[in-house]
Chains A and B, each alone.
Chain A
C-alpha cells in the first residue's frame, strides 16, 4: 500500500462540488441530529409495548395507520421511535469505536513510522497478528464469556479495529519524518514528544480522518451483525441489528419488518463511506490495501 502526502488546495470549495460528499455529509449530518434529538422528536416511547397493535404496517402501505408512520414491531412498539433511538446506538458505537481504535492505532503507527528499526518491527508484528484474528468470532466469544453489553461492544470493537489506523499512521509518518519542518523543529530544540504531537500528528491528521470514516462504517456494520447474532447490544435496546433479528421470524409474511431497519443501516453506512471516499479523492490518497 502506498500513501502520498499531498496538501489540500481550495479544499472546502472542491468538497462542496463533489456530489458524493454532499450526499454523504447530509446522510451523516441528519442521522447525527436525529440521534442527538431522539428524546424530543420520537412520537412514542420506543420501549412501550402495545400488544393490541402488533405488526401494524407503515402508514404508506395497505392497512397502515397514520398513527405509526413506519408501523409497529412484533410487540406493538412504534417502529419509527425505535429506529430513531437505534440511530443513537449506531452513532455512539461508531464514534466511540473510532476514538478508541484511533488512539491505539495512531500511537502504534507513529511510533513505528518515526523510530523505525526494532520499534517498527514490533509495530508491524502487532499489525500482522491483529489482522490474523477473526474479528466477529472473537467479539462474539468475548461477549459470550463476559455477557453482552453496550460498553463491551464498544470496547471489543475499539480494541480490534485499530489496524488500518496503525498502517496509515505508520506509512505517512515515514514519509514526513525527514521533511524540513520536522528537522527544523528538532534544531529549534523541541522535545521528542513535542515533535511527535505538534509536527507529525497534525500533518497526518487528514489521512487519519479518511481511515476514521472507513472504520466508523465498519464498526456500525459489525455492531449490527453482533447484535443480530444476539451477542451485541442486548434487548430491549433498539439496535438496528437487533431489530432485524427480532423481525426475522415475521419476514416471510411481512417483509417490510426487516426492510425498515435494514435500509436505515445501509443508508447510514453508505453515507459514512461516501464521506470517506470524497475525502480520499480530495487528498489524492490511495488507502486500499
Chain B
C-alpha cells in the first residue's frame, strides 16, 4: 500500500507542476499581457510603462521561472486592482468558499445517503424509481437558475433567508442547497449501487442467519461496506464543488475566492485569476489524494495490497 500511495503522491506533485505551468500559460494566451492590462484606451507609452513595471519585457522563460519559484513559496505577486498581496486576498476569501463547500457537501450527504439506502433496500420498486428520478432532476438543474428561483421563493416570497450577500450562517443556507445539487446525484447513485452489492453478499446472509435485526444489518454491516467508495467520492466531489463555487458565489454575491476570481477576470487582474485557478486546482489534487488515502485506510482489503 505504501508503494501505491507513494506513486500517487509523485503523480500528484507532477500534476501540480503541470497546473502551475498551465496557469502561467493561461495569462499569456492573449499574446501581449501589457496591452490587456493597460486596457483599450491606453497609449503606446502607457503600455510601455506597464511592461517595465510588471517585468513583462523580460524573456518569457525568465518570467516563467520567476513565477514558478515565487508560486511554490506561496507568493503570487500583487493584485493590480486591490493594492494588496494576492496571497492575502485569497487567504481572506478562502474560508468563505471552504465553508460554503462543506455546507454543500453536508447537505448533499444528508439527502443522498438515506435516499440511496432506501432505493437499494426497495430495489426496482416505485421508491427506487422515484429516487433515481430525483437524481436525474438534480443532474439537469442549472445551478445558477436554481439559485435565482430560491432567491425569489425563499428570500422574497417566504422571507425565510437573506436574498444574497456575505454574512452569518443564514447566508450559507441557500447557496449550500444549490451547491449540494451538483453532488447529490452521483453520491446517491453510488450509495445505491454499493448497498445493492453489499446486501446481496455472503456476510449479510450470515448476519440474517444469526437473527440480527434488520436495522442493525443495514447500518452496521451493509452500509459500513457501501460507505467506503462514497467517502472517497465525497472528497473528490468537494473538490468539484469548490471549482463550481464561482457560479454560485457570483449569483449570491458571496465574497469567496470564486467571486474574487469573477471580479478579477472583469478587471483584467491576472495575478489574482492565475492564483485562484492554481489554489482551486491544488485543493482538488489534495482532496483526490485524501480520497485515495481514505480508501486505503477504510478498506482492509487494500491495506495489504
Chain B associates with chain A: yes
Residues of chain A at the chain B interface (Cβ within 8 Å): 125, 128-129, 131-138, 140-142, 144-146, 217, 221, 224-225, 228-229, 231, 241, 244, 248, 251-252, 255, 258-259, 262, 265-267, 269-270, 273-274, 277, 286, 288-289
From B189, B247, B268, B276, residue with most partner A Cβ within 10 Å: B247
The answer to whether B276 touches A270, judged by C-beta atoms less than 8 angstroms apart, is no
The answer to whether B246 touches A248, judged by C-beta atoms less than 8 angstroms apart, is no
Shortest distance from the beta carbon of A117 to any chain B beta carbon, whole Å:
15
B69 within 8 Å of A (CB atoms): no
The answer to whether A225 touches B142, judged by C-beta atoms less than 8 angstroms apart, is yes
Residues 146-184 of B contacting A (Cβ, < 8 Å): 148-149, 151-152, 156
CA distance A252 to B149 in the complex (A): 10
**Residues of the A chain whose Cβ atoms lie less than 8 Å from the Cβ of B247:** 136, 225, 228-229
CA distance A273 to B133 in the complex (A): 11
Shortest distance from the beta carbon of B158 to any chain A beta carbon, whole Å:
13
Instruction: Select the stretch in B10-18, B71-79, B98-106, B201-209 that faces chain A.
Output: B10-18
Residue of B nearest to A267 (CB): B140
Shortest distance from the beta carbon of A149 to any chain B beta carbon, whole Å:
14
**Residues of the A chain whose Cβ atoms lie less than 8 Å from the Cβ of B87:** none
> What 5 A-B pairs have minimum CB-CB distances, sorted nearest first?
A134-B243, A144-B265, A270-B140, A269-B140, A262-B145
The answer to whether A258 touches B246, judged by C-beta atoms less than 8 angstroms apart, is no
From A132, A136, A138, A269, residue with most partner B Cβ within 10 Å: A132
Interface size band for B = 35 or more
CA distance A138 to B273 in the complex (A): 9
**Residues of the A chain whose Cβ atoms lie less than 8 Å from the Cβ of B280:** 134, 137
From A134, A251, A277, residue with most partner B Cβ within 10 Å: A134
Given A133-B277, A136-B244, answer yes or no on A145-B29 (Cβ-Cβ < 8 Å): yes
Shortest distance from the beta carbon of A138 to any chain B beta carbon, whole Å:
6
From A134, A141, A144, A255, B152 is in contact (CB under 8 Å) with: A255
Residues of chain B at the chain A interface (Cβ within 8 Å): 11, 14-16, 18-19, 22, 26-27, 29-30, 36, 136-137, 139-145, 148-149, 151-152, 156, 186, 189-190, 193, 233, 242-244, 246-247, 250, 258, 261-262, 265-266, 268, 273, 276-277, 280-281, 284-285, 288
From B30, B143, B190, A145 is in contact (CB under 8 Å) with: B30
28 contacts between A and B (CB under 8 A): A129-B22, A131-B288, A132-B15, A132-B288, A133-B19, A134-B244, A134-B246, A135-B243, A137-B243, A137-B246, A138-B26, A140-B261, A140-B262, A145-B29, A145-B36, A221-B140, A225-B142, A225-B247, A244-B142, A252-B152, A255-B152, A259-B149, A262-B142, A262-B148, A262-B149, A266-B141, A269-B140, A273-B139
CA distance A138 to B242 in the complex (A): 13
Given contacts A144-B273, A224-B142, A241-B142, 20 further A-B contacts (CB under 8 A): A125-B11, A125-B15, A131-B284, A137-B258, A138-B277, A140-B246, A141-B273, A144-B268, A229-B262, A241-B144, A244-B145, A244-B148, A248-B148, A252-B152, A258-B148, A258-B149, A259-B149, A266-B140, A269-B140, A273-B136
Shortest distance from the beta carbon of A264 to any chain B beta carbon, whole Å:
10
Residue of A nearest to B265 (CB): A144
**Residues of the A chain whose Cβ atoms lie less than 8 Å from the Cβ of B14:** 125
The answer to whether B281 touches A288, judged by C-beta atoms less than 8 angstroms apart, is no
**Residues of the A chain whose Cβ atoms lie less than 8 Å from the Cβ of B29:** 142, 145-146
The answer to whether A225 touches B186, judged by C-beta atoms less than 8 angstroms apart, is no
The answer to whether A288 touches B186, judged by C-beta atoms less than 8 angstroms apart, is yes
Shortest distance from the beta carbon of A8 to any chain B beta carbon, whole Å:
21
**Residues of the A chain whose Cβ atoms lie less than 8 Å from the Cβ of B11:** 125, 128
Residue of B nearest to A244 (CB): B145
Given A138-B277, A140-B246, answer yes or no on A145-B27 (Cβ-Cβ < 8 Å): yes
**Residues of the B chain whose Cβ atoms lie less than 8 Å from the Cβ of A231:** 265
From B148, B189, B244, B262, A288 is in contact (CB under 8 Å) with: B189
Given A225-B247, A266-B142, answer yes or no on A137-B261 (Cβ-Cβ < 8 Å): yes
**Residues of the A chain whose Cβ atoms lie less than 8 Å from the Cβ of B26:** 138, 141-142, 145
Residue of A nearest to B286 (CB): A132
**Residues of the B chain whose Cβ atoms lie less than 8 Å from the Cβ of A129:** 15, 18-19, 22
**Residues of the B chain whose Cβ atoms lie less than 8 Å from the Cβ of A252:** 152, 156
Given A137-B280, A142-B26, answer yes or no on A288-B190 (Cβ-Cβ < 8 Å): yes
CA distance A241 to B29 in the complex (A): 26
CA distance A269 to B141 in the complex (A): 8
**Residues of the B chain whose Cβ atoms lie less than 8 Å from the Cβ of A225:** 142-144, 247
**Residues of the A chain whose Cβ atoms lie less than 8 Å from the Cβ of B288:** 128, 131-132
**Residues of the B chain whose Cβ atoms lie less than 8 Å from the Cβ of A136:** 243-244, 246-247
The answer to whether B281 touches A277, judged by C-beta atoms less than 8 angstroms apart, is no
Given A132-B15, A136-B243, A251-B152, answer yes or no on A217-B250 (Cβ-Cβ < 8 Å): no
CA distance A142 to B276 in the complex (A): 14
**Residues of the B chain whose Cβ atoms lie less than 8 Å from the Cβ of A228:** 144, 247
